[in-house]
Chains A and B, each alone.
Chain A
Amino acid sequence: MDKLDIPQGTLDLMILTILAREPMHGYGISQKLAALSHNNFQVNPGSLFPSLYRLEQDGKLKAEWRPSENNRNAKYYTLTPAGRRQLERHRERWDRISFAITSVLEGA
């Protein structure tokens, strides 16, 4: 099946949402994203890591190295309180956008 492009600006929202449930490493995030999107989205690590680094530097994420499932060290990302607030704001906006779009499409 063809993958969809991730819409501009929504990758941060999805990363924050996934990390809100549990801390996770980069590979885990990319797998989770694929699974949750029913394999419609496949995030390119070349896009994922820059986003993770930016969110970390902006203080939305916190990272620490700890053993992963295969006993190798991996960098786990956790949401900070600032990240949680950002998630809420983005989520709210996204809900409004999708509500608005859906309304237009169905009302027409």
Chain B
Amino acid sequence: MTFLRRLGSVVWWLLNRNRAEQGLADELQAFIDLSAADKMRGGLPAAEARRLAVVELGGVEQAKERVRTYRHGAMLDELGRDVRYAFRIFVKNPGFTIIIVLTLALGIGANTAIFGMIDALMLRWLPVKNPQELVQVTFQAPGATTPPAESFSYVIVRALAEQRQIFSGVAGFSGFRFDVGSPASRVPGAIVTGRYYEALGLNPVVGRLLTREDDEPGASPVVVISYHYWERAFARSSDAVGQNVRMNGVPVRIVGVSPRGFVGANVGSTADLTIAVAAFPQVKPDAAPLLGPGNFWLRVLARPAPGVSRAQAAARLNAVWPQISEPLIAPHWPASRRKEMADSVFQLSPGGTGWTYLREVYRKPLFVLMAAVGLVLLIACANVASLLLARASARQREVAVRLAIGAGRGRIVRQLLIESTLLSLIGAAFGVGLAWVSGRFLVNMISAAPGRVVFDLTPNWHILGFTSAVAIATGVLFGVAPALQTTAAGPSLVLKEDARMSGSRSRLLPWLVSVQVALSLVLLAGAGLFVRTLRNLQNLDPGFKAEGVLLVDLEGRRTAVPDDFLDEIQRIPGVVSASVSTHTPLSGSVWSEPAVPAGQRIPERDNAYFVGAGPRFLSTMQLHLIAGREFTNRDSADSPAVAIVNEAFAQRHFAKQNPVGQHLAANVRGNRTDLEIVGLVRNTNAAGLRKAPPPTVYVAYAQLTGDLPTALAIRATGRIGSVVSAIQQALQSKLPGTAIEVRPLSAQVEATIVQERMMATLATAFGLLALTLACIGLYGLLAYSVAQRTKEIGIRMALGAQGARVVTLVLKGGARLVLVGIALGLPAMWAASRWVESMLFGVTRTDPATIGGAIVLLMAAAQLAAYLPARRASRLDPLGALRHE
């Protein structure tokens, strides 16, 4: 009832505002009339009586204002008035408003862009039923120090799905790119277990989704297409269901379309074609081993059974595991590894945001960048605050008048805060636009070949909420000090003829500038460290020469590659040498086996990287041969097995002896093999630029059996473009139905430092933005102080000070602020750099050259910013300056 009445009174007030204002004025007038009449009866003259009556009332406007603040609905009304007033002020000062809005748009936009990435990568729920219920299943060997493993074998996922008292649904999935159509193109897809869609609680748009039956041995292969693919390839025709898609040359029937917006549980990639694990070998015969117990490749999301909490589910799972584990663990594994797996502990973590390897890679970089843009925003805030402070002097008279005619101080502070919040909301609106545009750029930056990263960065309520919160906090942050400052003097002081700012603002401003300098130093030095890291990685000699090498992946096509295949490519003009290998450097996939000098016991655990390499592989990659020979055509399946080892391997097993001519005992793809070492080759950073070169054994490609991952490596010169199309032509005729992708090895190398490149690029951009903002802040302060000290400078010049001396005077003032800033910034930099230490390469976090460079850059830019006001000061006309004010 009370609420309704209040609401009514608010509405009444809004509708009758003018009448109410008039009524209030009339009533106060009546009060004065009555009071004056009384006083006249007491003998005072009319004018005096009236004056006294007004004094007694304490001012008509003050009384009105106090009544207004008591009235219901007054808040709303005042807000509207304040907003209109604020806009009038903005329009009157367009240049000022534009500078502030631009500064804030950059600051808030940078924050929104980075937050958008964090949101897309880590915070967004999968578009599935009750995503908050989902858990991600991981496991960890007892006593392991490595992070929990995220991949499971197919048999384990199937066994988990049967634990219906623990999980109501279990989804195993992995990404794969299919060759579709002819000529073939690569389409991203997913391989999933039968209960995938059921566990995620999804319903088809058309047709049906995959079921348990599709994931049984012998089931005919069927595919579910994404809504997006349905739209693109079939124009959303319902005839799509029942049609066949040629996947890797095999016709697969479309059974349904998954819901709009759902593109798989693998965040950052799109699964347009989804098939069941059991059907996978029919599309890709060499994938058959993936169904075995030794291959851990499926990520698992599960939904605990109703009423079962995450902790309960984990406890039950760990209780059940020892009873069911025995048949699920690969029988060919060594006993110690089998025991380790049997003793492993399952962990369930929240899984509603899906899975992506990107999270592991980018979590920390994005948090570092978030902190960096936070600092940029602080600098922007300081800039805007000092602009507002500088303008406070211009506004002080206006504010004094308002105080004098009855506005409370709180009321004016509120008005000023509304102005600053409005400014930052306008800045935020532009910032969101800026973030949207730059978001694409960010995603492209982390999109390394071969799998493109796909994020929807359309502003959602997360992002808008975050940005609004940032904007409001920002508005208050940069608005409070100027607002308090402006109103501090009270009405009387400033109405005097020689209105001057009180002293406190000149204390606050220099500190703001010094803090800006300090924060800029942190960002610049940080940027320097990341740039050095990137440079170090780029200049690192990885042991092979990537430039000029082209790669063609022919996964599992070995049997389809005729022997004269490479010879044909070799004949293409521009091709220097062509070779074949199982694993190319830095491809991200590696093969390891146990290998020791003959006579020693072969260990259970793999201890060396293996690479199957064809003839001319070393010369194609320009791997430096130290001793012995490279593989040739004579190293065939019928000749004795040979190997080439790298320095790291030789050092570990042969100390100072020459390994060439020695023999190795190794398990190669499950076969005990005797290998004769025929060559010694330089180390390569094949497993990662930051990682020490691993001990590596090269074995002859022709002497390996079975289906192998196969990639052609071709060194070419001249016009690469024509070489690429010639290669494509030569291969396409031999491999119809396969998408022939020719890509440079250098791109593969670049792909491994995408994160470092992102850090270097963005940290530099934010560092320079911070530097620019800090310099604008310094310029503003000095320009203002020169304007204020016009008279003093005039006197100095009249007394004979030369222009150069005046310049020095102003520059010194600026340099002092910068030095204070640097003194504040160095310890901050020292503390902050600990956090990024692990991200650096080849440079210490306190690298003197980097920090020194940042300081020099900062001082140079600051001197430049200070020079402009200094020069203006030196050109003052002394006489004019003395007459100033």
Contacts and interface: CB of A to CB of B under 8 A. Distances in A.
Given A45-B58, A49-B28, A59-B5, A54 B34 contact: no
Contacts of A54: 70-71
Contacts of B732: none
A6 to B, nearest CB: 15
A70 B23 CA distance: 19
A75 B38 CA distance: 17
A51 B69 CA distance: 11
Given A57-B9, A75-B27, A45 B69 contact: no
Interface of B is mostly: helix
Contact of B34 (A25, A44, A47, A53): A25
A50 interface: yes
Most buried by A among B27, B56, B63, B71: B27
A23 interface: no
B30 interface: yes
A57 B69 CA distance: 13
Given A45-B56, A45-B58, A57-B71, A68 B30 contact: yes
A7 B708 CA distance: 94
Contact of B66 (A27, A49, A68, A73): A49
A73 B70 contact: no
B66 A50 contact: yes
B30 A45 contact: no
Contacts of B63: 45-46, 49
A45 B69 CA distance: 15
B62 interface: yes
A68 B23 CA distance: 16
B31 interface: yes
Contacts of A59: 5
A44 B57 CA distance: 7
Nearest to B70: A50
Contacts of A27: 30-31, 34-35
Given A49-B63, A53-B70, A59-B5, A68 B34 contact: yes
Given A46-B66, A50-B69, A57-B71, A25 B30 contact: yes
A13 interface: no
A49 B27 contact: yes
Contacts of A3: none
A38 interface: no
Interface string B51-81: 0000011110011001101111000000000
A57 B67 CA distance: 12
A57 B68 CA distance: 12
Residue of A44, A51, A53 with most chain B CB atoms under a 10 A cut-off: A53
Contacts of A46: 57-59, 62-63, 66
Contact residues on A (Cβ < 8 Å of other chain), bracket: 20 to 34
A12 B9 CA distance: 20
Contacts of B24: 49
B286 interface: no
**Most A Cβ at <10 Å: residue of B23, B24, B63:** B63
B343 interface: no
Contact of A57 (B27, B35, B72): B72
A72 interface: yes
B37 interface: yes
Task: Determine which residue in B58, B66, B71 has the highest number of CB atoms from chain A within 10 A of its CB, and name it.
Answer: B66
Contacts of B69: 50
Nearest to A73: B30
By CB atoms of chain B within 10 A, which of A26, A45, A65 has the most?
A45
A51 B67 CA distance: 8
A74 interface: yes
B530 to A, nearest CB: 60
B26 interface: yes
B69 to A, nearest CB: 7
Contacts of B67: 49-50, 53
Interface centre among A49, A58, A68, A69 (most CB of B within 10 A): A49
Nearest to A72: B33
B58 A44 contact: yes
A62 B71 CA distance: 15
Contacts of B28: 45, 49
Interface string A52-67: 0110011100000100
Interface of A: 25-28, 31, 44-47, 49-51, 53-54, 57-59, 65, 68-70, 72-75
10 contacts: A27-B31, A49-B24, A49-B63, A49-B66, A50-B67, A57-B71, A70-B37, A72-B33, A75-B23, A75-B27
Interface of B: 5, 9, 23-24, 26-28, 30-31, 33-35, 37-38, 56-59, 62-63, 66-67, 69-72
Given A26-B27, A49-B66, 18 more contacts: A26-B30, A27-B31, A45-B57, A46-B58, A46-B63, A46-B66, A47-B66, A49-B63, A50-B67, A51-B70, A53-B70, A57-B9, A59-B5, A72-B30, A73-B30, A74-B30, A74-B34, A75-B30
User: Which 4 A-B residue pairings sit nearest by Cβ, starting from the closest?
Assistant: A27-B34, A50-B70, A74-B30, A45-B57
